[in-house]
Amino acid sequence: MLKTAIEMDKAALILKLLGDKTRLTMVKILDKHDCCVCEFVEIFKASQPSISQHLRKLRDVGLVKEERRGQWIFYSINKTHEYYPFVLQLLEQLPDQGEKLKQLEESGSRITCC
């Protein structure tokens, strides 16, 4: 695996994106589980447009990708992103967010289509 040199301005851009609690948590969750928009709406108790806009920013730099599954659009981490190793290394130091998904399941809000 070739290690690409990190550039300061690109690193700063990524850190800026992750310097938001909602987006940071999203990425941490997505690193382990795909999620659809409405799940995030539930998890963060935020409005749908707000969640969509956060996801768009992550998608715009290519950190996450989207895929339609029936009625839903699922987001997942783009593990081929040039800076994914940089991001991963950071995520590994953050506390596991699996509990948030467990709560979703318990409340019957977890989407498990397809």
Burial 18-42 (b: 16+ CB within 10 A, else e): beeeebbbbbbbbbeebbbbebbbb
Q: Considering only residues 40-69, where is the footprint of DNA by CB under 7 A?
A: 41, 46-57, 66, 68
Question: What is Dmax (Cα atoms) for the chain?
Answer: 44
Q: Which does 99 bind (CB under 5 to 8 A by kind): its own copies, DNA, none?
A: none
Sole binder of its own copies in the list 80, 89, 107, 112 (CB under 8 A): 89
Contact 87, 18 (CB under 8 A): yes
Q: How far is CA 88 from the centre of its chain?
A: 12
Contact positions vs DNA (CB under 7 A)? 16, 20, 22, 36-38, 41, 46-57, 66, 68, 70-74
Contact positions vs its own copies (CB under 8 A)? 5-9, 11-21, 24-25, 28, 86, 89-90, 93-95, 97
